[in-house]
Structure 1
């Protein structure tokens, strides 16, 4: 059975930014938006309802949805957004999005197609999230790519699975290319040359670390229940930032510290045990990757310096990370 589509709390903050740009009070909608932390998982029907409430405040439904998408910043896509920012070129960026789209929607949906002249990003019609959510998503995709490139980027064409809205002309004005509706797919086609476009803020070291963090977040997705999944995703996000603490996680999960402790106790867990276990699990995964320096691994695990990582690893395994890595690589 397919996992129900959803978005993240970081993504729904697009609406907060749009409300700010339009100077719209919308207290009820803002209260709902503010109740979602960036790491929260927001069911697709709730996101669609939020969009309906928002566009009802504007004179043009289609233009409002396009404007919401245009607010996109890397932070709205979480670790995936920052990973795209650090990629070398657009080809790497598209590959990273395809690899980690599940962090965003909870499913792998996009198909990347290539021919001699064009590259396409395509989502099947059955994966359509409706007129408003699809409009926001594709408007955000193009706007984010333009921000990453610090340049204008014009598609060859854009296709949507939903029927043409009354203000279809607003789409061609926004995208700067022909737009089809009632198509068999939701699709954006670009000239093949865009794949070679360099991203001006690329950083191979940062890209490597963010790629490992995204891999770890993917591992957390199949957790047994919603609380365990949200807890692990929050911990994985905060760990390399060096901000992982019981107080911070409780705040991110909208719980009091005592409530979080009670939930952990009911599961037979302790906070220190969870942090230790997560670090041990990730340490083994990262040590098996010869491209990661030991200092990079220490940073990814949230240690202030490599010596702290060495002490913790010796406590876990009675050995040093360097010797453990040599054994791993010898038997790989």
Structure 2
């Protein structure tokens, strides 16, 4: 059975920024958008419905969808957007997207192929999310790459799986290349030389830390219920920021502190036990990675000082992070 596609609360805020840009009040739609925290998982049918409500207010349906995608900033894609920002070049960035796409859609869909003269990103037609959502996604992809590169970017061609809309000409004008419809895949083809373009904000240290965070988020995707997933995602996102607290998580999940505590108690959990459990699980994963310094591990787990991490780790395991790392690396 195919995994139901979804997007994130951070992604749907593209609509909020478009409404602001167009100076559209849209009170009912804004209430719905504001009810989604960045870490929330938004089912694809709800996202499609939001888009339908938005473009109904615009004179041009196709142009509105393209404009919504053009609002993209790294924050709309969460940790994946910031990871792309820290990559060395476009080839590395596309590899990161392929590796972590599941954080965005809930499934691995993109197929990257290299030819002699071009590189292609393709999504199967059966995974199409419809005219509006597909348009927003591909427009956002191209605009995000342009922002990351700080240079004009033109693909060789763009193909969509949906039938040609009435305003098909708006697509060729927006992408600056031939655009086809009713294709067997949704696809973007780039000149191969673009893969070597340097990303101006590349930061290897930040990139390494974001890779670890993305890997941790992948581990938390799973077959757990919606509340558990939302809680895990929120905790994993806030840990490296050093802002993880009961009040902050309750606010992110749109719950009162007492409601969150009651839900944890119903599962036989406590807040402190949850934080310790997440940190201990991640610590084992991070310590097994020789590329991370112990100070990096402490930072990723949200400790202000390595000494605080050492004390917590000894409380969890009765041992020190350094000794556990030596054993893990010895048996790896």
Spell out the pairing of 1:130-141 with structure 2 (5 A cutoff): 130-141=130-141
Mapped partners of 2:276, 2:252: distance in 1:
20
Does residue 77 (structure 1) correspond to residue 77 (structure 2)? The answer is yes
Quick one: distance in 2 between partners of 1:125 and 1:2? 14
- Give the match for residue 36 of structure 1: 36
Show the counterpart of 1:188: 188
Q: TM-score, normalization: structure 1?
A: 0.99
3-state SS in 1 of match to 2:107: coil
Q: How many residues align?
A: 332
2:309 aligns with 309
Partner of 1:296: 296
SS in 1 for 2:94: helix
C-alpha deviations, 1:144-187, integer Å up to 9, x for none?
00000001110000000011111111000000000010100000
SS at match of 1:122: strand
2:49 corresponds to which residue? 49
Corresponding residue number in structure 1 for 2:225: 225
Q: What per-residue deviation string (whole Å, max 9, x for no partner) do you get for residues 269-320 of structure 1? A: 0000010011000000000000001111000000001111111111112221
Aligned mates of 1:319, 1:37 — CA distance in 2? 38
Cα distance in 2 for partners of 1:298, 1:78 equals 22
CA distance in 2, matches of 1:316, 1:246: 21
Distance 2:179 2:90 in 1: 22
The whole-number CA distance in structure 2 between the counterparts of 1:28 and 1:146 is 33
- Structure 1: unaligned runs, 5 residues or longer: none
By how many angstroms is 1:223 displaced? 4.1
Q: Does 1:330 align with 2:323?
A: no
Tell me which residue corresponds to 1:178.
178
Residue 215 (1) aligns with residue 215 (2): yes
SS at match of 1:85: helix
2:112 match: secondary structure: strand
Uncovered stretches (5+) of structure 2, i.e. residues with no partner: none
TM-score when normalising by structure 2? 0.99
Residue of structure 2 equivalent to 1:206? 206
After superposition, the C-alpha distances for 1:55-86 in whole angstroms (9 at most, x for unaligned) are 01110000000000000000000000000000
Aligned-partner Cα distance in 2 for 1:227–1:25: 31
1:35-184 equivalent positions in 2, closer than 5 A: 35-184=35-184
Deviations 1:5-42 (A, max 9, x none): 00000000000000000001111111111011100110
Runs of 4+ in 1 over 3 A off after TM superposition: none
CA RMSD of aligned residues (A): 0.6
